[in-house]
Structure 1
Amino acid sequence: MAPTYVKGGVWTNVEDEILRAAISKYGLNQWARVSSLLVRKTAKQAKARWSEWLDPSVKKIEWSQEEDEKLLHLAKIMPTQWRSIAPIVGRTATQCIERYQKLLDDAERGESSSDLNLTGVDVAGPSVDSVRKFRPGDIDPTPESKPARPDEVDMDEDEKEMLAEARARLANTQGKKAKRKDRERLLNESKRLAFLQKRRQLKQAGIVTKINTRPKNKSTAFSIDYNADVPFEHKPAIGFYDTSEEKAENERQKEQYDRLIASKGVPQSGRDDKEKKERNDKKRERNEASEAQAAAARAEKLHQLSQADQVAKRRKLMLPQPQVGVNELEQIIKHTRRGDEMKNYNDTEDGDSGLIGDYSAAENTALPLRTPSVASGESSVQLASKELINLTKQQSSLLGEVNVPLNGQSKPIETALPPSKTYQTPNVLLSQTPRRDFFGVNDIGVEATPRDVIRRKFLSLPKPKNDFEIVLPKQDDLAIEDEAPEIAEDANERDKRIAAEREAEYQRQLNRRSKSIQKDLPRPAVIPQTLSPSGPTEYGANLKIILDEAVQLLRSDNTKYPSENRVISGPILEDIDDDLKDSIEALFLKEAEKSGSKSFVNVAEDPCELDLGKSTVTDSLSKLAEKLNKQEQKLAIVLGGYIKRQSLLKVKCTEAQEALISAAVESATFATLRDMEAIGASNRIATLQEEVNFLTDAERAAQAKYRYLVDVRNELLL
């Protein structure tokens, strides 16, 4: 049976270098093409090798305590999600798994060393490292995350062939398609040059040929070739002048153009050398750029390693400058010595000896002198590892067993990162001053009340500054601010506004009427053409104008507002504007006050005359009322019978009209009922006639059948 070869295994330095060169050419996406250069590796293994080991961003230094805490914390939150944990920790997924297993193994080893082992006297159980160590014949499942194996002195034939093929393929910057295009271009160029050489030789022999680019197909033999011929060419007619010289010049330019085309197509040795030189220069520049990039990457990697070493090294101890000088120390010593002297002086057996406290011990032990060290117990990494081991070992609650208790020192998970612990060096000057309160006068255990806290906060506020100034806004700004944005008016509000405007305009029109029309005073039925003034002659002309205006006003009022059963036609005066009317009245009053003449004062303004006129009008009205009452009584006696008769006839007419309307409605209703009954009667008669005909036919058929049966019976009896 032929042996089966499985791709994989430990990576060598040659394979790593080939993988780097292939990635620099093909990129990080074409892994199938990259793996074709490696005989013993697949595309998946090549990608894993790059992402787990060869990528410059992979960290290969020792794990720090912060990274261990972060790893264990995230493993508790997201178990088995190593692809999600790796970018948070800053390592690869394989590195996280290996470190996680190592931490768990260390925790188990610590537990096994501390517990009582049930083994013999000199017999020890297998260690975790010995269990995880590969035996002869085993295959490493993750060789991509391990360092490369050194190359052998004598390489195999397969490796040599792989290396040679990789060199050849990686050195080829032009692919197969580019080479084929170059060959086709050279072939077309050689054909063109051969055709031109043949045409030149025929021309030297006296045979002038023409480039024929027409197709050989008969169906398109007579079509126009726009590349060789001039479509729809019209040769000019022979004119009066000789154009033979122009033809010779045209032929000469054509030959010059042909020679130029032929010379451009001929390859020259100098041009080939120039192209080759340019190609070599580009290749050399590309190699120099790749070497420069590789050198920069190596330098950056070395710089990172050196920085890591510098961080790990112990730096030189640099103490700060003393904050307490020699003079201050001497003063402190003097005060302390003075206090001791006073204590010795008062140190007697008297009753007041207990009134002074002893502060020597308190002052000596007030502050720590060293930085608090880390707890001597287990570290946070060990505690987290043990918790994860217990979580892994615990079984389902359905089995009824008690779960393994976790460590009491573990804290609840609040964030994705473990809590940070910082230890500070104590500072004597920044710490609290020791209290000389031996008798507990100042009780520091009592907290401040909320009122005191609020009062303290108010006291911490800055003092008010009464340097404000009142600045009134400008009128333009107020006008601009008062302008509200235009809002579409509601239809109901618009109708109300229009109705109010119409009502106001109607009231203004009523007010524009003359006073006689507004007060509904009697008007003369017949208006004369003119009125003659009866006043003093010195005002005759003015009175004439006033009377003419009054006549025109009376005619206009009778035309615009005619009385009952009267239709008068005549000129209509236009209404005076309200503003003009107000200005006229103001001018009239001003003129009256200015003149001071009593001629403008109305005669009726005298109080005595007003009372006399009032009594006269009242007497006339009372007499008129008595007369009207007498006339009304006479008319009631004369027309009383007619009024009663009229009311009785009115009632009878109303009843007769109602009876007529009801009779008309009944007549129309019965007429419609008659028409409908006539139509329904004809339909019922037709239906009954059909039923009668059916019964007649059935009876006739039954009689015939009966007769036939009787005849049959008689024949049978005979």
Structure 2
Amino acid sequence: MVRIQQRGGTWSNVEDEVLKAAVMKYGHNQWARVASLMNRKSPKQCKAQFTRDEDEKLLHLAKLYPCQWRTIAPLVGRTAAQCMERYERLLDDAQRELAADGDAPAMSSEEARRLRPGEIDVLPETRPARPDPVDMAPEELEMLSEARARLANTRGKKAKRKAREAQLDEARRLASLQKRRELKAAGIHVARFSGSRRSRGGSTLDYDAEVPFQKVAPRGFYDTSEEKRADADLKRAREDADFEAIRLERLEAERRDTAEARAARDDKRKRAKLMETNLPEAVAQVSRLTDPAAKLRRSELALPAPQVSDAELAELGRLGGADAATGDATDDLVDRAGVDRLLSESRSARTPAVARADDLVVQEAKNAAVDRSLQTPLLGEDQAPRLDGTGYAAAAPRKPGGAPTETPLSSALRKTPNALGLNDDDAASAFSGAASERRPTRLDVRRGLESLPAPKYAYDIEQPANPPEEEPPQPAIVVDAAELDAARQAAAEAETRARLARRSSAVRAQLPRPRLVSDDLRPLGESEAALLVRDEMAKLLRRDAVDHPVKGAPRAIDENFDDDDDDDDFFGDEELDRARDLVIREAGLLEIDDDAFESQWRATFEDTVFFPNGLGWGKISDGPADIAFRADFDASRAQMTKGATRAARIEERLEPKLDSYVARAKQLRDDISRVTSRLDKAALEAACYDRLRRVELLALPNRLAAAKARLAQATRREKHLQTEYSALRRKRGDQ
């Protein structure tokens, strides 16, 4: 059974250290690789720090999709819990800043999120890391070792794996060679390849016992000194080649300290060579390296443009120097306050500070906190004041430079203060002469008002009392046409349901009913109450036959039916319900034996048949039985014909779909028959050969004895003939 690993939970110190090292190696974008080092954390849980763009995006999406954190989470790239927690933290910070303006002390977000006794932490990932236990779990140890190995691997997985495999192959080769040499020294010869010696018909070659591609030297004498010399050289070159030490540097890349040492040696060798060939250049190079000015050289500062230009400074100096010489005449022409203000501004001018980057985030959070504190818009209260300048109108982060910032470059392009009227387009210089127009100041206006004469009459203005305003008449609410149509449709549906509920039980259950009801035949001797019940039943049957005729039958025309006599209009639904309850209660008081009723009904049904000649249902004694049986037979035949027609239609519809299966079944049946015949033939041949084998085994000793006898006879005859031949040769030699 596969174990389900649930990601999340409180962070541990081991996971914190692994996370720090992984971020240092993989950066702030490869969160999937960072999370792969930890079994219990997902990439979104590892990426916990929000940026300013993400905060702006979160606040704007929270306004577009309120309380829809599962919709906001994939747009921001975080989990729903992280989005909700960050949003609550921003609102808490904004509320704390708003509360700091008043007298009440503000509660920090950490105090607000502190767990109370009895509460359960639903977001354990946001808590500080818990200390590691003394005995760590096996999966944590495995995770730690794997993370340590992966973080230590700076050359990639494939290169490390190739080096490890090469090292293992080399160690395996040396171990095998050492084992064979030790066995050979002990007198045991072991083949280097699998398989001992070449078996009969085998393809394995034992190189210790045989020499492959051996060429036998021709017989004779020839000079072999060159071959011996070549063999000796080759032996010296390959002497103990199997035990050649292969260092780890040959399998792995070059170490950094080795490369630095090699580069230092090369530089030292180059300097020594330069000292021998070009001494002045070497001395100049050493002096450049040891020059303290080169070490203290810094980059050029990029200062902003000055707030006041040189021409303005010269003008201010001229004004300040001519102050004592001009006297009171100049005071009448030049506004001294404007000059002093310009001088003070020039002394205290500073480079404007750049606005904080998170001002917009704080303003947006304050706006969200104010919106949360509002009541429902249905109460009609005033709109709370909002902070302007958020400027966030899309779900995507704002582009850099979209909002104006206070930088020295932008502030340097502004004009100088206009207190002296230096920037007026239509005015001449303020110092052109005594004919320049002097603008009135507040002191002049005040002096003019004080010089006015005292009032001779006093006037009081009384505001007339406001009459009570009459409330304007409320306009009549115009109902929408769609709502009227819906109300009419609902009323019609309710009327239809009520009309269907007022139907009789036989109509609701779709039971068979008579088309015409006759009052001519009535049993004699019935009581007046029974006659009333029968008349009421006849009325119900007539109405059902007229209003709800049997499906497939023509509509009945009953002369005794009176359309004005409508019980549905005379009796209400409540009265009909009470009548049904009374009937059910009265029927419950009657004691009816189910077994007796079933036996009586079965006996009556067995003695009753249907006559198709218009007589209807009746007993067998009341009409010819052959007609009833013939009608039953015709009905059964019609049912059979109908079933056959339906079966033929279904077969015709399914034949195109089943043709391929039928052909496949026929082919398989033919194949099975062929295989069966071959099997029978093979079984017959096997039985014949088995019988032949048994016969041959019985006759084999006799034939073997006869063959041995013939062999002995032939041997004796040959020996006799050889003896006779030798005698003839000797006899011929003697002659």
Structure of greater relative contact order (alpha carbons < 8 Å, 6+ residues apart): 1
Above 0.5 in TM-score? no
Task: Report the TM-score when normalising by structure 2.
Answer: 0.32
